[in-house]
Amino acid sequence: FNNGNHLTPEELVKLDRQNVWHHLMQHKIFETQEPTIMVEGKGCLVKDIRGREYLDAVSGGVWCVNVGYGQDSIAEAVCEQLKKLPYYAMSAGNIPAILLSQKINALLPNLQRVFFSNSGSEANEKAFKMSRQYFRLKYPQKDKYKILFRQRDYHGTTVAALSATGQPERKLGYEPLVPGFIGDLPPAYCYRCSFGKTYPHCNIECARVLEDIIQSEREDTVAALILEPITAGGGVIVPADEYLSIIQEICRKYEVLLILDEVVNGFGRTGKWFGHQHWDVDPDMVTMAKGMASSYMPLSATVVKEYVFEQFLGDPSDKLGYFRDISTYGGCAAACTAGLESTRIIEEQNLCQNSAEMGKYLLDGLKELESFPVVGQVRGKGLFAGIELVEDKKTKVPVSEQFLGKVLAEAAAQGVLLGKTNRSNPGYNNVIAMAPALIVTKDEIDRIV
Ligand code: PLP
């Protein structure tokens, strides 16, 4: 088969420039700069088309190759499954989907039903549709449909997921977005508290204000709240320990479903299977993708409590009373096989524990950088860390994007790939992000630091 091996790097770069539309890139840049084309990886290392090797501190660029590169057993398992049965629609079933749902339900014992799809955005779309239909089935006389979201959180690229995203500049140019998505909840961002307070003397105002928001929207119109347990692309923001349980309490009081987006946090990234498991919170729905199959195959899921699922059980002759949703590839046998094998690797190699231990080592190392005038704050959990860069520690004025770009370029020139979080507000693209694979070693962390 054509794997491109007969082509020279120059030919491939030329073909790329002629044919490919890269994600999230201003293509003008490729007139003067070559696209980085990766060809192979092993462990935490990736090699590009020019033979340059990098220590990948961002697990595939977007924090998703959780078990690292070169896990042959995933490739072999997927290959075997592809030969046996590549695909059949999920209105029927397949063995890997059954086994993976069982595994996920065991990892999330308070949730009971798994709905598969292909990407994080889609998993969130399903959660929104489920929330709206859940209340329409439960209270046909009410119109409980609004979805609340938090500033700086990202939930995806599709139109409703984007509508639920708290990064305004991502939305510009794509409006009008979906009505009924309300983003008044401030971030749980102690370094830049929206209330000008200081933890722990703040009464966790950023969580308590949810009650005012629900009341001002009118509780009988609000269906759900979506949050990332730890905000990822919005700046690697770890909430105060009390935060999620206060949010939970308010959601319960007003019968608002709590959806936790574990697309980045999940599958060991923060040192536990799921980010929210660090805290006392019991969500109604959890969405996941990225690390679910360590991105060896596209795979995501929306996992819900049995009472959510049961609301959709009704008379089979009712043409409207079930969840009328399908993603062609969701639950595809080969992707679920990759998910099963990746999950087995995380479990058998104790990678959540490695993430916790190596994550602490990483954070301790990075904390030492706080003595630099340009480092405002270092934060993180498990193998997920951010360094917020500022021009001045007192005023907290963020460094310019150009400055951050220079830091990342210099790191890449020294063979380490770092990430940045996306602009939440103009000028706030000032956080270096790190999320190495869960198999990362101390030596590799030393090099990153
Ligand atoms: N949710 C979070 C927290 C994410 O970071 C992302 C992607 O980065 C998504 C959802 C969307 O996932 P996908 O790009 O797979 O659609």
364 and 407 share one domain: yes
CA nearest 408: which of 57, 43, 51? 57
Tell me the mean pLDDT in the region 214-243. Answer: 97
Tell me the mean pLDDT in the region 259-287. Answer: 98
Tell me the mean pLDDT in the region 325-331. Answer: 95
Cα torsion 34, 39, 45, 50: sign: negative
In a domain? residue 305: yes
Q: Which of 120-129, 318-327, 364-373 has the least mean pLDDT? A: 318-327
- 306 is written with which tokens? 């049995």
> Ligand 1 mean position to 263 CA, how many Å?
6
The pLDDT, as a whole number, for residue 427 is 47
Answer yes or no: is the ipTM higher than 0.90. Answer: yes
| Final residue in a domain of this structure, among 348, 375, 396 | 348
| Final residue in a domain of this structure, among 321, 348, 375 | 348
In a domain? residue 307: yes
In a domain? residue 205: yes
pLDDT band at residue 422 under the 50/70/90 scheme: low
pLDDT tens digits, 344-388? 999 999 999 999 999 999 999 999 999 999 999 999 999 999 999
In order of 27, 52, 64, 178, 312, the CA distances from 297 in angstroms are: 27, 25, 11, 29, 29
Question: 56 in ligand 1 pocket by Cβ < 6 Å?
Answer: no
User: Counting atoms of ligand 1 from 1, which one is nearest the CA of 158?
Assistant: 16
Half-sphere exposure at residue 281, Cβ-oriented, CA atoms within 13 angstroms? 30
Domain limits at 250?
A: 74-348
374 and 304 share one domain: no
In a domain? residue 2: no
Question: 376 in ligand 1 pocket by Cβ < 6 Å?
Answer: no
380 and 394 share one domain: yes
CB 183 within 8 A of CB 149: yes
Q: What is the mean pLDDT of the chain?
A: 96
The pLDDT, as a whole number, for residue 429 is 77
Question: Which residue, judged by its Cα, is nearest atom 7 of ligand 1?
Answer: 156
| Final residue in a domain of this structure, among 348, 377, 393 | 348
The pLDDT, as a whole number, for residue 301 is 98
- 165 is written with which tokens? 């995203």
pLDDT band at residue 428 under the 50/70/90 scheme: low
> Ligand 1 mean position to 414 CA, how many Å?
29
334 and 217 share one domain: yes
Question: 289 in ligand 1 pocket by Cβ < 6 Å?
Answer: yes
326 and 381 share one domain: no
Report whether pLDDT(396) > 60.
Answer: yes
14 and 108 share one domain: no
Which strands make up the sheet holding 419-420, listed edge to edge?
375-380, 385-389, 431-434, 419-420
196 and 308 share one domain: yes
The pLDDT, as a whole number, for residue 250 is 98
d(CA 146, CA 181): 6
In a domain? residue 237: yes
d(CA 337, CA 95): 9
d(CA 211, CA 206): 10
pLDDT tens digits, 185-228? 999 999 999 999 999 999 999 999 999 999 999 999 999 999 99
pTM of the complete model: 0.98
296 and 356 share one domain: no
326 and 364 share one domain: no
The pLDDT, as a whole number, for residue 401 is 85
Cβ neighbours, 10 Å, residue 166: 24
pLDDT band at residue 326 under the 50/70/90 scheme: very high
User: Counting atoms of ligand 1 from 1, which one is nearest the CA of 118?
Assistant: 15
Report whether pLDDT(423) > 60.
Answer: no
CA nearest 327: which of 144, 167, 119? 119
% the chain with pLDDT above 70: 98
137 and 192 share one domain: yes
The pLDDT, as a whole number, for residue 425 is 54
